[in-house]
Amino acid sequence: MSAPLTGRTRDDRSDVAAGITVDSVSKRFRHDRLLVEALDRVSLDVAAGEFVGVIGPSGCGKSTLIRLIGGLAEPDGGSIRVGGMPPAEARAEKLFGLVPQSPSLLPWRSVLDNVTLLRDVGRRTSGWRDPMALLGQVGLAEFASSLPKELSGGMQQRVSLVRAFALGAPVLLMDEPFAALDEITRQQMRYQLLDVWEATRATVVFVTHSIPEAVILSDRVVTMAARPGRVIDVEEISLPRPRHEEMEFEAEFAAHAIGLRRALRSGWA
Amino acid sequence: MGVTAGIGTGAAAPGPGGAGESDPIDAGLGDLKTPARGDLRGRSAGTGWRGAGGVVAAGAVLAVLLGIWQVLVDLTHTPAIEIATPSAAFAAIADNPGYFASNAGWTLEEAALGFVVAFVVAISSAALIVHSRLADRALSPLITVLQVTPILVLAPPLVLILGIGIAPRVVEAALVTFVPLARNAVEGFGSVDRDTLELMRSVDATRRQIFRSLRLPNSAPYLVTGVKICAPLALIGAVISEFQQSSAGLGYVMISAYGYYKVSDVYAAVFVLMFLGVCAVGAVTAVGKRYLRWRG
Ligand SMILES: Nc1ncnc2c1ncn2[C@@H]1O[C@H](COP(=O)(O)OP(=O)(O)OP(=O)(O)O)[C@@H](O)[C@H]1O
Ligand SMILES: [Mg+2]
C-alpha cells in the first residue's frame, strides 16, 4: 500500500532532537482507602531519535508514564526532562505529538481538517509536514475530505497517526495506538508506522501489549510490572533498520520475543 | 459535570461525537430513521420523497382525528358553548385571519425574545459551569431549584413585579425555557471525549481554543435538542402570561373569547398556537439535519 520513502536525508528529520529523562519518578493515586502506587521510582532515559517500546501487564502504569512525560499530569516524586525542559514547558514549546488509544477524531471535521486541527490550535510555526503527503503515505489520500464516520476503525487510527506525525514534533508519545485493531490490520499498521517514522526519526515512547509489535518497532523495550508500577527489564533490540516483515520469521526476532516473555513472567512472581 | 439530568427537562445524551451510540431525545417531527449519508439505498430512494410521504401520512392521521372529533360533537349535539367543532374553529380563523395573525405575531415576538434571553443566559452559565468548579457548585443547585419551581404558577406574581407590558411575558417565556437549555448546554460542553481533550492539551491548547474547537461543536446536537424542546415551551409560557394581563396575543384572544362565550375563537387560537409550535420545531429539525450530518 505504501511504498517505502526514498531519498531520505537528515534534513527531513525533526528540527529539534529531544531526549527524555525520567529520574526516579513516583505517582500515587488514592481510591477511597486504597492507595495505588501507579509508578514507584521509575527511571528511564530515551535518547533523541530513539524508539522505545513499553510493555507490561494492565495497570502497571504505562499510560500514567506517558501522561507524566507529556506534562498532562504531575509526578509525586522524582523529575522528568524532555529536551532538557520540564514537561509543562516542553508542552508549551510544542515538543509533543500524542497518539491516544482511541483515534479521537472530531466527528464534525473532515479527515484533513482533523489532521490540521492541532496545527491550528497549537500555533506551531515551523517543522510542519505536509498532511496530504502523509495521508497518501498511509493510503488515505482519497479520503481527505471524508468524515470520520465514513472510515473504518483502522483507517481512523491511521488518521490519528498522521495527525501526530504532521505536527513534526520531535517527541511522539503513543499509548497503545493499535489496541483496538484486529491482528491483520495491526500487522500492516506496524510497517506503516515505521515507514512514516523512518522519515522523521522523532523520539518515540510506544506503549503496547503486543510483544511482537514491541520487538519489530523498538530500539529498546522496557518491561514494567504492576503494584507498584516499576521497570523490571530493559532489552536492546539488535535487529537492523529499516525493519521489514520478513524479520518476524528470523531467529533473532524470536529470541527477543522469548526474552521479553521471560521478563514479563518474572514480573508476576 | 455535577448536574444530573432531570426527568422531563430533556437533557439529551448523544454519544461523544459520531460514534453513533445514543441519540438525543428527539422532539422533532417524526422520521427518526433517516438513513445516514452515504447509505446508497437511502440516497437513491430520495429523501425528498420520503419526507413528503411522512407529511402526507401525518396529515392523514390528523385529518382522521379531527374528523372523529367533528362527528362526535355533531352526533351528540353538544352545544357550541361547551365545545367547538374543528370546522367552527377553522371558520373562525377564515372569518378574521388578520386578527389571528396579528395576535399570533405578538405571542411569537414575546416567546422569541424570552427564548433568546434564556438561550444566552443558559449558554453563558453552562460555559462557566464546565470551566470552573466554583461556578459549578454555585450555579448547578440554582438550576435545580429553578427546575422544581412551578414557573407557570409564577405568572401572576411576575405581572405584579414587572408591571403591565411585554416584560412579564418575556420573562415567563425565558423562565420556562431556561432549565432544559442550560442542562443540554452543560451536557454538550461537558461530555467531550477524554482522549481528545488530552490530545488538545498535549499541544498546549488554551481553554478558549478547546472551547471553540471541541466543546462548542460537541454541544451542537444537544443544543438542537434543547431548542426543539424549548421553542414550543416558550410559546406556551408567553400565552400563560398573557392570560394574566394583556391587550394582545393568542392568550389575550383566548381569554377575551371566553368572556364573550366565543368558544370557537378559543379553539381557533389554540390551533394557531399549535401551528406556530409545529413550524418552530420543524424549522429547528431541518436546520439540525442540515448541520449535523457528521453524526453517526
Ligand atoms: N486518573 C486516575 N485516577 C485514579 N487512579 C488512576 C488514574 N490513572 C491511573 N490510575 C491508577 O493507576 C494505575 C496505573 O494505571 P495506568 O492507566 O497507568 O495503567 P496501564 O499500564 O496504562 O494499564 P492498561 O494497560 O490497562 O492501559 C491503575 O491502578 C489505575 O487504577
Ligand atoms: Mg493504559
For A72-112, what is each residue's pLDDT tens digit? 999 999 999 999 999 999 999 889 999 998 999 999 999 99
Task: Kindly report the protein residue whose alpha carbon is nearest to atom 2 of ligand 1.
Answer: A29
Reported confidence tier of residue B9, pLDDT bands at 50, 70, 90: very low
pTM of the predicted protein model = 0.83
Give the mean pLDDT of A11-27.
Answer: 76
Contact between B19 and A121 using a beta-carbon 8 Å cutoff: no
Query: Helices B97-131 and B133-148, interaxial angle, to 10°?
Result: 140
- 3-state DSSP call for residue A173? strand
Pocket test for ligand 1, best of A64, A207, A232 (most atoms within 8 A of CB): A64
Of A11-15, B109-113, B191-195, B235-239, the one with minimum mean pLDDT is A11-15
The pLDDT of residue B42 is above 60 = no
Burial class from Cβ neighbours inside 10 Å (0-12, 13-18, 19+) for residue A45 reads middle
- pLDDT of B51: 67
Chain A closest CA to B129's CA: distance in Å?
22
Cell 488554551 belongs to B206
Q: What is the pLDDT of residues A204-263, one digit of tens each?
A: 999 999 999 999 999 999 999 998 999 999 999 999 999 999 999 999 999 999 999 999
Share of chain B above pLDDT 70, in %: 83
- pLDDT of A168: 86
Q: What is the pLDDT of residues B139-188, one digit of tens each?
A: 999 999 999 998 888 888 888 899 888 999 999 999 999 999 999 999 99
Task: Kindly report the protein residue whose alpha carbon is nearest to atom 29 of ligand 1.
Answer: A59
- pLDDT of B10: 41
Reported confidence tier of residue A122, pLDDT bands at 50, 70, 90: low
- pLDDT of B25: 43
ipTM: 0.86
Chain B closest CA to A187's CA: distance in Å?
24
- pLDDT of B153: 86
Residue A4 is given by DSSP the state P
- pLDDT of A129: 83
The pLDDT of residue B17 is above 60 = no
Q: Is A64 in the pocket of ligand 1 (CB under 6 A)?
A: yes
Give the mean pLDDT of B85-113.
Answer: 95
* Mutation target vs B (from A64, A89, A110, A117; most B CBs, 10 A cutoff): A117
What b/e sequence results for B5-31 when a residue is b if at least 16 CB atoms lie within 10 Å of its CB, and e otherwise?
eeeebbbbbbbbbbeeeeebbbbbbeb
- pLDDT of B283: 93
Q: What is the pLDDT of residues B224-238, one digit of tens each?
A: 999 999 999 999 999
Reported confidence tier of residue A163, pLDDT bands at 50, 70, 90: very high
Contact (CB, 8 A) for A113 and A162: no
d(CA B115, CA B234): 6
Query: For residues B39 and B54, which has the higher predicted lDDT (pLDDT)?
Result: B54
The pLDDT of residue B8 is above 60 = no
d(CA B113, CA B169): 9
DSSP annotation string for A108-161: TS-HHHHHHHHHHHH---S----HHHHHHHTT-GGGTTS-GGGS-HHHHHHHHH
Q: Is A60 in the pocket of ligand 1 (CB under 6 A)?
A: yes
The pLDDT of residue A13 is above 80 = no
State the distance from the centre of ligand 2 to the C-alpha of B188, rounded, in angstroms: 26
- pLDDT of A119: 82
Give the mean pLDDT of B54-60.
Answer: 87
Q: Is A242 in the pocket of ligand 1 (CB under 6 A)?
A: no
Reported confidence tier of residue B54, pLDDT bands at 50, 70, 90: confident
Contact between A72 and B202 using a beta-carbon 8 Å cutoff: yes
Report chain A's mean pLDDT, rounded to a whole number.
88
Contact between B17 and A108 using a beta-carbon 8 Å cutoff: yes
Burial class from Cβ neighbours inside 10 Å (0-12, 13-18, 19+) for residue B288 reads buried
Contact (CB, 8 A) for A205 and A217: no
Question: How far from the centroid of its chain's Cα atoms is residue B139's Cα?
Answer: 23
User: Which of B198, B200, B295 lies nearest to residue A107, judging by beta carbons?
Assistant: B295
What order of strands is seen across the sheet that includes strand A203-207? A96-99, A171-175, A203-207, A51-55, A220-225, A230-236
Q: What is the pLDDT of residues A24-83, one digit of tens each?
A: 999 999 988 889 999 999 999 999 999 999 999 999 999 999 999 999 999 999 999 999
Q: Is A49 in the pocket of ligand 1 (CB under 6 A)?
A: no
Q: Which ligand is nearest to the CA of A76?
A: 1
Chain A closest CA to B208's CA: distance in Å?
10
- pLDDT of A125: 60
The pLDDT of residue A127 is above 80 = no
The pLDDT of residue A179 is above 50 = yes
Report chain B's mean pLDDT, rounded to a whole number.
84
Contact between A106 and B200 using a beta-carbon 8 Å cutoff: no
